[in-house]
Amino acid sequence: MSGWRSREVRSFRNAVAGIWETFRSERHMRFHLVAAFIVIAIAAWCKLERWEWLWLIAAISSVWVAELFNTAIERTVDRHSLDVHPLAKAAKDTAAGAVLIAALFAVTVGSIVLGPPLWKVCFQ
Protein backbone atom coordinates (compact mmCIF):
# COMPACT_ATOMS: atom_id res chain seq x y z
CA MET A 1 0.00 0.00 0.00
CA SER A 2 1.33 3.44 -0.83
CA GLY A 3 2.26 5.83 1.96
CA TRP A 4 -0.74 8.09 1.32
CA ARG A 5 -3.22 5.22 1.28
CA SER A 6 -1.81 3.59 4.41
CA ARG A 7 -2.05 6.93 6.26
CA GLU A 8 -5.67 7.31 5.13
CA VAL A 9 -6.53 3.77 6.20
CA ARG A 10 -4.85 4.35 9.57
CA SER A 11 -6.78 7.61 10.03
CA PHE A 12 -10.04 5.86 9.17
CA ARG A 13 -9.28 3.04 11.63
CA ASN A 14 -8.45 5.54 14.36
CA ALA A 15 -11.72 7.38 13.74
CA VAL A 16 -13.71 4.14 13.91
CA ALA A 17 -11.83 3.16 17.08
CA GLY A 18 -12.79 6.49 18.65
CA ILE A 19 -16.44 6.01 17.77
CA TRP A 20 -16.38 2.43 19.05
CA GLU A 21 -14.68 3.49 22.30
CA THR A 22 -17.37 6.11 22.87
CA PHE A 23 -20.18 3.60 22.28
CA ARG A 24 -18.41 1.12 24.56
CA SER A 25 -17.71 3.49 27.43
CA GLU A 26 -20.49 6.09 27.40
CA ARG A 27 -23.95 4.97 28.49
CA HIS A 28 -25.58 8.06 26.95
CA MET A 29 -24.12 7.15 23.56
CA ARG A 30 -25.60 3.65 23.90
CA PHE A 31 -28.95 5.22 24.84
CA HIS A 32 -28.79 7.39 21.71
CA LEU A 33 -27.98 4.29 19.63
CA VAL A 34 -31.03 2.41 20.95
CA ALA A 35 -33.22 5.48 20.43
CA ALA A 36 -31.93 5.79 16.86
CA PHE A 37 -32.77 2.16 16.10
CA ILE A 38 -36.28 2.64 17.48
CA VAL A 39 -36.81 5.81 15.43
CA ILE A 40 -35.45 4.15 12.29
CA ALA A 41 -37.75 1.14 12.79
CA ILE A 42 -40.78 3.39 13.25
CA ALA A 43 -39.76 5.48 10.23
CA ALA A 44 -39.42 2.37 8.08
CA TRP A 45 -42.84 1.20 9.23
CA CYS A 46 -44.32 4.61 8.36
CA LYS A 47 -42.82 4.45 4.84
CA LEU A 48 -41.41 7.96 4.97
CA GLU A 49 -40.38 9.98 1.97
CA ARG A 50 -36.73 10.71 1.24
CA TRP A 51 -36.80 14.26 2.58
CA GLU A 52 -38.25 12.98 5.87
CA TRP A 53 -35.49 10.37 6.11
CA LEU A 54 -32.95 13.13 5.49
CA TRP A 55 -34.25 15.14 8.45
CA LEU A 56 -34.26 12.10 10.74
CA ILE A 57 -30.74 11.05 9.75
CA ALA A 58 -29.49 14.62 10.20
CA ALA A 59 -31.06 14.79 13.66
CA ILE A 60 -29.67 11.41 14.73
CA SER A 61 -26.24 12.30 13.38
CA SER A 62 -26.21 15.66 15.15
CA VAL A 63 -26.78 13.93 18.50
CA TRP A 64 -24.01 11.41 17.85
CA VAL A 65 -21.57 14.12 16.73
CA ALA A 66 -22.38 16.25 19.78
CA GLU A 67 -21.91 13.22 22.04
CA LEU A 68 -18.54 12.43 20.44
CA PHE A 69 -17.35 16.02 20.93
CA ASN A 70 -18.68 15.98 24.49
CA THR A 71 -16.74 12.81 25.26
CA ALA A 72 -13.55 14.20 23.72
CA ILE A 73 -13.86 17.44 25.69
CA GLU A 74 -14.64 15.66 28.97
CA ARG A 75 -11.68 13.30 28.61
CA THR A 76 -9.30 16.09 27.65
CA VAL A 77 -10.42 18.21 30.60
CA ASP A 78 -10.18 15.23 32.97
CA ARG A 79 -6.67 14.50 31.71
CA HIS A 80 -5.45 18.04 32.32
CA SER A 81 -7.36 19.00 35.44
CA LEU A 82 -6.88 16.86 38.54
CA ASP A 83 -9.14 18.99 40.71
CA VAL A 84 -12.45 20.63 39.88
CA HIS A 85 -11.49 23.95 38.37
CA PRO A 86 -14.26 26.43 37.48
CA LEU A 87 -13.06 26.59 33.86
CA ALA A 88 -12.93 22.79 33.63
CA LYS A 89 -16.48 22.58 34.96
CA ALA A 90 -17.62 25.27 32.52
CA ALA A 91 -16.05 23.43 29.57
CA LYS A 92 -17.70 20.14 30.52
CA ASP A 93 -21.07 21.78 31.20
CA THR A 94 -20.93 23.62 27.89
CA ALA A 95 -20.17 20.41 25.99
CA ALA A 96 -23.06 18.68 27.76
CA GLY A 97 -25.27 21.62 26.81
CA ALA A 98 -24.42 21.05 23.15
CA VAL A 99 -25.61 17.46 23.48
CA LEU A 100 -28.81 18.66 25.10
CA ILE A 101 -29.50 21.09 22.25
CA ALA A 102 -28.83 18.38 19.66
CA ALA A 103 -31.11 15.96 21.51
CA LEU A 104 -33.90 18.55 21.71
CA PHE A 105 -33.48 19.18 17.99
CA ALA A 106 -33.75 15.43 17.35
CA VAL A 107 -36.90 15.13 19.46
CA THR A 108 -38.42 18.09 17.61
CA VAL A 109 -37.59 16.64 14.19
CA GLY A 110 -38.86 13.22 15.24
CA SER A 111 -42.12 14.71 16.48
CA ILE A 112 -42.67 16.73 13.32
CA VAL A 113 -41.77 13.90 10.94
CA LEU A 114 -43.21 10.89 12.79
CA GLY A 115 -46.08 12.57 14.65
CA PRO A 116 -48.62 12.82 11.81
CA PRO A 117 -48.29 9.24 10.51
CA LEU A 118 -48.33 7.82 14.05
CA TRP A 119 -51.33 9.97 14.97
CA LYS A 120 -53.15 8.66 11.91
CA VAL A 121 -52.44 5.02 12.83
CA CYS A 122 -53.24 5.39 16.52
CA PHE A 123 -56.28 7.67 16.49
CA GLN A 124 -58.07 7.24 13.16
- Predicted confidence (pLDDT) per residue in 5-63, tens digit: 788 899 999 999 999 999 999 999 999 999 999 999 999 999 999 999 999 999 999 99
Establish if 109 belongs to a structural domain: yes
Establish if 12 belongs to a structural domain: no
Establish if 80 belongs to a structural domain: yes
The CATH code of the domain that includes 40 is 1.10.287.3610
Establish if 96 belongs to a structural domain: yes
Range of the domain at 97: 27-123
- Provide the annotated active-site residues: 67
| 52 in a labelled binding site | no
| 67 in a labelled binding site | yes
| 21 in a labelled binding site | no
Establish if 11 belongs to a structural domain: no
Residue type, 116: P
Establish if 64 belongs to a structural domain: yes
Establish if 20 belongs to a structural domain: no
Binned at pLDDT 50, 70 and 90, residue 3 comes out as: confident
Domain count of the chain?
1
pTM of the entire structure?
A: 0.87
- For 76-118, how does the pLDDT look when each residue is reduced to its tens digit (9 = 90+)? 998 887 788 889 999 999 999 999 999 999 999 999 999 999 9
